[in-house]
Amino acid sequence: MEKIDPASDAAWLIEEEAFTVARSKDNDNDNDIEILEVYSKRYIVMRNLVENISKIMYQNIFCVNDT
């Protein structure tokens, strides 16, 4: 059975949203790199947050200490 990783699923959705927003805000395509750099940083922060929350939830549900 395939293991479900909620952290990577949520991070993927955040990444997709970031790129969609970046593309929609940049009509002239001159600032692509700058906009994507900003959203990449936000994506990394959000991914780390989601991973940490997922670990805490897993530990609380299954009473496991992986640290």
Nearest to 47 by CA among 22, 20, 10, 21: 10
Asked if residue 1 is part of any domain, the answer here is no
Query: Is the residue at 50 inside a domain?
Result: yes
Does residue 67 belong to any structural domain of this protein?
no
Residue 58 belongs to what domain range? 6-62
Domain count, the chain: 1
pLDDT in tens, 6-50: 556 666 666 666 666 666 655 555 566 666 677 777 777 777 788
Quick one: angle between helices 32-62 and 6-25, nearest 10?
Answer: 160
pTM metric for this prediction: 0.40
Q: Is residue 18 part of a domain?
A: yes
